[in-house]
Amino acid sequence: MARTAGDDDDDGPPPAYAAQRGPRRDPRLKDLGISCMLNTEVAALLAVIRRRPDPYSYLPPAVAAAEEATFAGLISSLKALRGLLFQPRHGAWRCSDPSTYLTPFLDVVQSEEAPPAATGVALSSVLKILRIDVFDECSPGARDAVHAILAALTNCRMERFADAGAEEAVLLRVLQVLAALLRARAAPLLSDSSVCTAVNTCFQIVQHAAGSRSSELLQRTARHCMHEILQAVFARLPDIRDGDGDGDDPAVLGGGSGAGFGARCMVDVFSFLCSLLLNASDMVATPDGQGAFTSEEDVMLFSLVLVNSAVELGGEAIGKHAKLLRLIQDDLFYHLIHYATEYSPLVLSMICSTALNLYHFLRRFLKLQLEAFFMFVLLRVCGGANGPQLQEVAVEGLISFIRQPTFVIEMYVNYDCDPLLRNVFEEVGKLLCKAAFPAAPGPMTPVQLQAFEGLVSMITTIADNVEVDKAPDHDAYAVDVSEFRLFWTERWDSSGGGGGAGTERETWVDFVRKRKLRKKKVAIAANHYNRDQKKGVEFLKLCHLVPTPPEPRSMAYFLRYSPGLDKNKIGEFLGDPDEFNLKVLKEFTETFDFTGAILDTALRTYLEAFRLPGESQKIQRILEAFSERFFEQQTTGVFATKDAAFILCYSLIMLNTDLHNPQVKKKMSEEDFIRNNRAINDKKDLPREYLSELFHSISTNAITVFSTSAAAAAEMTPSRWADLVKRSRAMEPFTPCDFKHKLSREVFVAVSGPAVATLAAIFDGADDEETLNQCVEGLVSVARIARYGLEDVLDEVLCCLCKFTTLLNPYATTEETLFTFSNELKPRMATLALFTIANRFGESVRGAWKNVVDCLLKLKRLKLLPPAVIDPDGGGGGRGGSSERPGGQGHRHRASTSDAGGGVIFPATHRGAGTSRHVSGMIGRFSQFLSLDSGGESLLSVGSEFENNLKIIQQCQVGAIFKESGKLPDEALQNLGRALIFAAGGKGQKFSTPIEEEETVGFCWDLLALLVSANLHRFATFWPPLLDCFNAVSQLPLFSPCPFAEKAIVALFRVAVRLVSAAAAAAPQRAVDTRVSEELVFKSINMMWKLDKEILDTCCEAISESIVRLLTEHAGGVQTPLGWKTLLHLLTVTGRHPETFDQSVAAMVKLMSDGGAHVTRFNYAAVIEAAFGFAALKISPLDVSTRILELMAESVNWLIQWHKSGYSDPGNSAGFSGGSSSSASSSSASSVEDASRMGNLAANMFIKLAEALRKTSLVRREEIRCQAVFELGRAFNLAAAGDLDLGPAGCLACFNLVIFAMVDDLTEKTLEYSRREGAERETRSMEGTLAAAAELLADVFVLLLPTLAQAPGFRTFWLGVLRRMDTCIKCDLAAGGGAGVMLELVPRMLKRMIMEMKAKEVLVPREGDELWEITHIQIQWIAPAVKDELFPE
């Protein structure tokens, strides 16, 4: 609402001029109101002027007339104004000349005769006119009016007021009018000089109020008015058009078009404020009446408040005006740095606030100034160099900077990545870590708490900005510097980046990262150079920091700008007379800019870069180079020649030594110095004033010629500041930037080590919930950053959290650990944070999986793990595996149900890249969740301690680590699996009882099976390294194979079931991977049972169950020979037990009875071997053994079928026959096209069958032996009937390896039993089997005779047949005393064989053929009864 004319609140704010709302008002009514207001003010002023001191006393007429004459002029002007107020005018008051109604009031203000009361009333009237905006900038005569008001205020004489109270009242009104004038709508019409006059007038009142010990009200009002005037002036700066401010153009400095005051007055006002900082000591009141302020600190605070206000209102517009900006760059920042540590914490706080505002608005122009402020003020004071009070304020100021959204990344990019500047961000980060680190036990100090808060804020800022939707590959973070660049002077050229804006920004990121890498390598090179100069140069070449061979300029930049380089080494190198060193010296000197500098300042700057060597010739060479550079850049023309500069430089060095060396007793005087330097300037004298100034400068401030101490660099000297200002003119400007992913990651790398150590130490020592929460938030933020290629940092975080869980304390008993976990907040928070990070960022965890697994096992021993961790329904990790579901549908259902159950940590989002800061938000509620106070509404506020602990562990979602491990990369997955294997092997574990050991090992293998189940698709990739761990585990000192191998083989069979079942449904293109995976798992199974063969007996039921399931349900998925061999071998071994025999033999019979659907030429031998095992088993019933033997004989049909089909396996997977990963199988499959190989392969498989039947013929049970002999003969008959081509060699092999061996073994057995007492029955039984075997020999001989006759060794073979016949008769004689059956059987068989040989013309008398003769001779010995019949004379 617009202010009315009747308002008389002089202390209120100025009215806002705005259009009136509501129904439109007649403008004449507003003008009438102004007229009434002015009439009232005139009447009041006339009344005050006419008022007598004592209205009741008599005043003679003459005296009264004299007094009336004194005020006649004032009264007449007021009366004239009153006569004009209500006369008709041609326009509104706003269109009238303000001098018409202002002049009478201003005359009273300036009048020396007017009483104080009248002056006060007149000032109140002017104030009211200004506040209600009777006129504005468009009113005619407004410019003259505002200047007239200011002139009246300036000319108001206070000396005439004898009463201090009256004087103070008038001064208060003057201040109010000044403030209102600068805030009025016509204020822009004031000139620059008028604004300066207003500021000066107000400051005089401030001084007067402070010096005359006026009331507190006047002092505060004067300072407040000064503040308001500054605000009104600088608030206009953003509206003034851009200008450099360097010239005298009033259009530029005054705002353009003569509009009124502009940047010029602001420059003068700001310069005045800076002078207040510089001359604060002169403003303090002294006994002789000089000064006005009570203390220097009062002056500093007063000026800093005004400066801060000016910067806040001017904002970024200050950067558009060069003179204002230069005041800040050159003067203000120097004062801020200089006075920051000399006064109270309040002054330092104001300085930090001012610096923060300057950073916020003008950092693009203050790169070096900000660096100096951080290095010389904040970092130094935060380090505690100036006491704890200032340290606390400095830390607060530093945290204010850190809270700026882009401060962290901007500091890193502009300073840490700039080779010419200090690592400001790294220094800030390390200082926060050092200040926050708890040096001693006990509560944290305020400084530590503040530094800790700043550290967490910094890490959280980086974490919030580092995240990306898809994390780059690990190699994408690598930076390669493969070529030399003079990067010290290199700048980013935005026009040089190719492509669009996106490419350009990425190129800038790469440019910054390479600069930082080079800067790091330069620091390393400096370290090498300090120890060995040659090694340092070689390292520079190796890292492409200097060319090969080095050139002078690059070497000079290395010496000039390398941090940490030994200044002695630099000086010695520069002073060396070698030609290359002289060139480097010249280039080194040219890196300095001495333009406009006086000689001693330039010399100080030059000698701060190195330590001047002690040898005079080296000093001479260095000073010559300096003198030449200074002479070239001198602007005053003092020196006529460079020799004059060189001589004076040498003279200054000598003067410095003379004046400041305590060993010199007689000091050089000024006259001596001037006399010593006569006629050196081309035979003329240098100006005496110039030499005198140099003398006094050296005498008051020594040049540190030979000092290597860092103390000299701790102060910002005027010469150092002058050099900084000069460098800032040519320095690359500050680059405002936002966070980029790769840069954000590298920002954290700079402080990762100290940050993690500090957070861990604070968490270890803290007890209050808030600090613990902040620590956990910080550690989780570290994990959010470290997930991007910083695996070592993430491992360190997890190791720290494992330690804080107290679960791994080797000295605590189980009861103590459980008590601590149940009753202390810290272990539970650490546990929850540990598994949260492992779940969220497991893809980047490497070695820390071991610690995580150890904590998990400890929780298992404490019985705190819920059963859902190993979920047999969904995870496939449950023991027994009887509830396996293809595809893991049960697992997914249960996982989603668990996630929906209100988990504190895990929302229903995936744990990959792109995790937002809700992770830390969840962590922030740890204490609320974990609080066990009965009065709170915690989730854990009900139930026993054990139940509460279980609820906490349930929130950890431990099972998700394994069930969702399919998202882990191979390396992380292998590390997790390796940790589980070594834990199962007992590494790092201590077991109190064998039961505990068995449960722990079994739990590890359950988790490993669960892990494999989630990663079946890449089993072939991640399992081989784990397979190598088995050998390493077996070599552990305390390795116990019994529980390890026992639990391992059961778990591995569950894995095999999943792999084989998945292989059956796999796509053909994945056939190779599935075969490799199958070989790996069965290789692992074989390794396990070979560690301890007794486990095949102890775990027979579980193993047999898995094998039976594989053979009955998933036999088609077994695709490797190793898989079949392992399965069938272990089936026979475990089937020896009565409890497993039935299911095992049933599976065997089913496999062989299914028409050979799953039997192939690759697993045929294993099938036959397994069948033999069951057939020969003692506990096998007769009908079972008989059935198996029949199936074995009938398997010849499979051989015939494969032989006829070219060895492809009908009814079986084609991939098995052609793509086995076994090299032997591959070579066999590739050669089956060779006809000769076909026969050999058939013979080999048939011989395998025949050998199995032969071995069965040796068992103790007669029925089985006879059945085996019978089935062997049947097999030969089937082979002959099916045209199975065994070939001559194959037929001979059948006799040599099978039939002959069987007859020999049975003969030996018969003789063995005959020698035993009481074994007549066994002897007769064995004789019967031998007779059957002998008869089989004859039958097969007759059957295969055509083929056998073609063999080249038939003669030898036939002798073997005769020898077996002879042995049978002798055995019969020895065993039965001549009453055996062999005496009858052998002649008959011989007769049959010889007659067949004759019929086939194999045995015929031929000349030169010994077969007839040999047979004739042998028959005489073996069966003389049939000799005549077979060989008649």
pLDDT for 1402 equals 84
> Which is more confident, 1408 or 713?
1408
1120: tokens are 């490797």
Q: What percent of the chain has pLDDT over 90?
A: 32
Q: What is the pTM of this model?
A: 0.81
Q: What is the DSSP code (8-state) at residue 613?
A: P
Over residues 469-489, the mean pLDDT reads 83
Spatial contact of 1142 and 1183, defined as CB atoms under 8 Å apart: no
The position carrying tokens 């191979």 is 970
pLDDT exceeds 90 at position 1062: no
Neighbour tally for 1393: CB within 10 Å:
23
Spatial contact of 833 and 923, defined as CB atoms under 8 Å apart: yes
Over residues 987-1006, the mean pLDDT reads 83
Neighbour tally for 453: CB within 10 Å:
20
Over residues 1274-1303, the mean pLDDT reads 89
Over residues 796-818, the mean pLDDT reads 90
pLDDT for 13 equals 46
pLDDT for 706 equals 58
Q: Strands (DSSP E) along 290-374, which ranges?
A: none
Using one digit for the tens of pLDDT, what is the confidence trace for 522-570? 999 999 999 999 999 999 999 888 888 889 999 999 999 988 899 999 9
pLDDT for 352 equals 94
Using one digit for the tens of pLDDT, what is the confidence trace for 1093-1144? 788 888 888 889 999 998 888 888 888 899 999 999 999 988 888 899 999 9
Give the largest Cα separation in the chain, rounded. 203
pLDDT for 1224 equals 36
Mean pLDDT of the chain: 82
> Which is more confident, 608 or 1223?
608
Confidence class for position 622, pLDDT limits 50, 70, 90 = very high
Spatial contact of 252 and 321, defined as CB atoms under 8 Å apart: no
Rounded Cα distance between 493 and 998, Å, is 67
Picking from 1271, 1107, 1299, 1105, the residue whose alpha carbon sits closest to that of residue 1188 is 1271
Over residues 371-389, the mean pLDDT reads 90
Spatial contact of 1267 and 1276, defined as CB atoms under 8 Å apart: no
pLDDT for 864 equals 86
Neighbour tally for 99: CB within 10 Å:
16
Q: Which of 72-86, 99-113, 928-942 has the lowest mean pLDDT?
A: 928-942
Using one digit for the tens of pLDDT, what is the confidence trace for 201-260? 999 888 888 776 668 888 889 999 999 999 999 999 988 876 544 444 444 444 443 457
Over residues 1381-1396, the mean pLDDT reads 86
Using one digit for the tens of pLDDT, what is the confidence trace for 939-980? 344 457 778 888 888 888 888 898 888 888 989 999 999 999
Over residues 581-598, the mean pLDDT reads 91
Neighbour tally for 973: CB within 10 Å:
26
Using one digit for the tens of pLDDT, what is the confidence trace for 697-714? 888 888 876 554 444 456
pLDDT exceeds 90 at position 1242: no
pLDDT exceeds 50 at position 125: yes
pLDDT exceeds 90 at position 354: yes
Q: Which of 495-509, 835-849, 948-962, 1052-1066 has the lowest mean pLDDT?
A: 495-509
Over residues 797-808, the mean pLDDT reads 92
Confidence class for position 371, pLDDT limits 50, 70, 90 = very high
pLDDT exceeds 70 at position 914: no
Using one digit for the tens of pLDDT, what is the confidence trace for 1173-1225? 999 888 889 999 999 999 999 999 988 888 888 755 544 443 443 334 443 34
Using one digit for the tens of pLDDT, what is the confidence trace for 256-288? 434 578 889 999 999 999 998 888 877 776 665
Residue from 615, 1320, 1384, 1429 carrying the catalytic annotation: 615
pLDDT for 313 equals 92
pLDDT exceeds 50 at position 297: yes
Using one digit for the tens of pLDDT, what is the confidence trace for 836-889? 999 999 999 999 999 999 999 999 888 888 877 765 444 334 444 333 333 333
Rounded Cα distance between 1347 and 1286, Å, is 9
**How remote is the C-alpha of 1386 from its chain's centroid?**
89
**How remote is the C-alpha of 365 from its chain's centroid?**
32
Confidence class for position 1385, pLDDT limits 50, 70, 90 = confident
Picking from 338, 332, 337, 343, the residue whose alpha carbon sits closest to that of residue 298 is 343
Confidence class for position 1160, pLDDT limits 50, 70, 90 = confident
pLDDT exceeds 80 at position 159: no
Pick from 340-344, 1168-1172, 1378-1382 the range whose average pLDDT is largest. Answer: 1168-1172
pLDDT exceeds 90 at position 1066: no
Measuring CA to CA, how many Å separate 14 from each of 128, 135, 769? 10, 14, 50
Q: What percent of the chain has pLDDT over 70?
A: 84
Over residues 372-382, the mean pLDDT reads 92
Q: Is 615 a catalytic residue?
A: yes
As a dihedral over the C-alpha atoms of residue 815, residue 818, residue 820, residue 823, rounded to 10 degrees, the angle is -120
1427: tokens are 């000799």
pLDDT for 293 equals 75
Confidence class for position 376, pLDDT limits 50, 70, 90 = very high
pLDDT for 490 equals 83
Three-state DSSP class for 293? strand
